[in-house]
Amino acid sequence: MGRPKSFVMLFLLLVVYASPSHQRSVLQNTDCSYHSANYSVSWTYDELSNDVVFKLVSRSSFTNFYSAIAFGTGEQPEDVIAVYVRSAQIGLIDGHLVDDGAIESDEKTNVQALQFDLQNGVLSAQFARPIETFDSQDADLGNCVTIFLPTESREIITGVPLELGDQKSLQKIRVCDIAVTCATKLHNDVIVKRQEDSDVAPVCATGPEDQKNRIEWKVDGELIKFSVFQNTKKGRWWTAIGVGESMSDLNMILLFAETGKLKKQGIFRTEGKMQPFEVEYAGIELKKEVAVVNNGRAHFEVTIEKKFFLDRADEQSCFTMQVAILAGQYQPNFNIQKHQTTPQAIQICNVDACTVPTEPPQDVDGETNKGEEEKEVEKERVDVEASGVVGGATEPTNDVEGSGLSMVEQRPVATSSTPSTAEVADEKPLTGDDAPREESTTSSAAPTSSQSTQPPTPHANPVFVVDNQTTEKVEKAQKEGEEEGTETTTRKSTGCGAEHEDLKICESYFAEYLGKVNEWSEKHNMTITSHMWKACTLLSQVQHVTTMCCGIFRNTCATHLSL
């Protein structure tokens, strides 16, 4: 005997009725975003990287809190990406849900942290995940997935695991064909490409050239050279360059400055909420290369083995660099206090792309043909040697690394031993004649780095070509100088005299050199304005330029060197 027809019809009606009801509970989303009062998220497929880029914004009244986005193929969330704030530190978790509902980190992480910000309780995070993944704990974003959204942030309580919360409170969205519906092409400086994507511009600095406080880095063989540019802020302030996802497990380089002067540098480590402590790593040494202060600006350069960062890299050779410039104050014993600004997290996947160029130095003044030019003008012109050395002696070349320091006599420095990790800098100000010559302690690769990261150096021995009338004036001035002694010398070195007239060669000399600086700036995607103080500093080191070319020198450089 079969079932009554009325029973069968009732069963079919229940199925037909129930199915649409279930589908309506999971909204189909084609807007690639979701917004509510305290939570919003958007997702975009980037064709260049084959990643899905998420932008999450969460508002919270808690001091320590977290927000998340979860994925699943069925009714239950499985894959989770969480962003948390603990002690003003922002962190990212690539995880999954375990049986008790807690969020647990994946064994393999493939989420890239792109940008973070925390302002007045509003957390903004941008991160990326491959649309195709081989991690069994990750949802396949290339297929249809259900997105689970906790629309309210949750407080972090010590000893309590992170959870998504009651699933009934989660907003559910069904998403399909992300690669088609949400496709776009992001600019290269928004999304960080992986190591194998060599066609993408590498990330080699914390910000643009005109940023007041910035850090840039270059790879030179097995070393990474960091150049730190920051204001000479009054008081004791620390700057950090770290590697790691969060303060709970972070290795970092700390630079301690007092009113701009570098007092100490060293390698430190943090674990949990403990005070950062100084450590030493076998085979890894931090070296100070440059520490100068000029016109309210500080310039530090340190080098460290590349291994310091690559030891923390993942399978794709990617690591997270944490940067904090003038982030907080420190005590006289170099114990750092809590940072006042949120560290910047930068995902680095192609650090070797920031290699120091090996091109030969640019010919600034046509020195290659100098000998032939001198022969041609020998009978009709007067050569004024800028070096001031008698008898054809040559003066040692001084590599001025854009420091703005006055040229001083090079003093012998022992190079048999290198500065130890966390070496305490000299207490004397790094200005004037007391400033150490940094190039005497640098490695053999240092000049190459300087050539590539600083404007070209003006020719130390320019040939000033003058006519007979000007020659007579110069000879007369020299004779008067011999008679007047130090009085004339003082007038020459401190400013232009009332009857001063620049040599005719000065205009072409300045035009040629500044033209080279402009070419160098354009080649490195920089503006000549941002480097004029360096160029003028280098010009001021060339003897006779500030005296015989006093007028054009002051007109060109007065605003850049406080003349």
Given a contact cutoff of 8 angstroms between Cβ atoms, the answer to whether 384 and 248 are in contact is: no
Q: For residue range 252-302, what is the model confidence (pLDDT) as tens digits?
A: 999 999 999 999 999 998 875 567 889 888 879 999 999 999 888 999 999
| Spatial distance between the Cα atoms of 562 and 557, rounded to a whole number of angstroms | 8
Long-range contacts of 363-367 (CB under 8 A, 24+ apart): 364/456, 364/457, 364/458, 364/459, 364/512, 364/513, 364/516, 365/458, 365/459, 365/462, 365/509, 365/512, 365/513, 367/459
Q: What is the structure's pLDDT at 273?
A: 54
Please name each of the domains of the chain with its CATH number.
Answer: 27-184 (2.60.40.1210), 214-354 (2.60.40.1210), 378-387+454-563 (no CATH)
Which amino acid is located at 220 in the chain? Answer: D
Residues in the chain: 563
Reduced to 3 states, what is the DSSP secondary structure of residue 106? coil
| Count of CB atoms situated within 10 Å of the CB of 9 | 10
Residue type, 266: G
CA-atom Rg of the chain in angstroms? 32
Q: Give the pLDDT of residue 390.
A: 36
pTM over 0.85: no
180 contact partners, CB below 8 Å, separation of at least 6:
none
Average pLDDT over residues 316-337: 87
Q: Residue 406: what pLDDT?
A: 34
The pLDDT tens digits for 191-235 are 443 434 445 567 889 888 778 899 999 999 999 999 999 999 999
Q: In whole numbers, what is the pLDDT of the chain averaged over residues?
A: 73
Q: Tell me: the pLDDT tens digits for 386-413?
A: 333 333 333 433 333 333 333 333 344 3
- The answer to whether 544 and 386 are in contact (CB under 8 A) is yes
**H helices present in 409-525, as ranges:** 446-453, 468-484, 486-494, 505-523
Residue 361 · residue 453 · CB < 8 Å: no
pLDDT in tens, 21-50: 343 456 677 789 999 999 999 999 987 778
User: For every residue of 233-250, which 3-state class applies, written as one string?
Assistant: CCCEEEEEEEECCCCCEE
pLDDT of residue 71: 95
Determine the average pLDDT of the residues in 3-31. Answer: 52
Question: Under a CB-based contact definition with an 8 Å cutoff, are residues 106 and 79 in contact?
Answer: no
pLDDT score, position 124:
94
With the C-alpha atoms ordered 502, 507, 513, 518, is the resulting torsion angle positive or negative?
A: positive
Contacts for 500 with CB less than 8 Å, ≥ 6 apart: 550, 551
pLDDT band, very low/low/confident/very high, at 498 (cuts 50, 70, 90)? low
What's the average model confidence in pLDDT over 338-346? Answer: 75
Cβ–Cβ < 8 Å for 498, 526: no
Contact call for residues 206 and 325 (beta carbons, < 8 A):
yes
Cα distances (Å, whole numbers) of residue 221 to 213, 350, 361: 26, 14, 19
Q: Are 245 and 92 in contact (CB under 8 A)?
A: yes
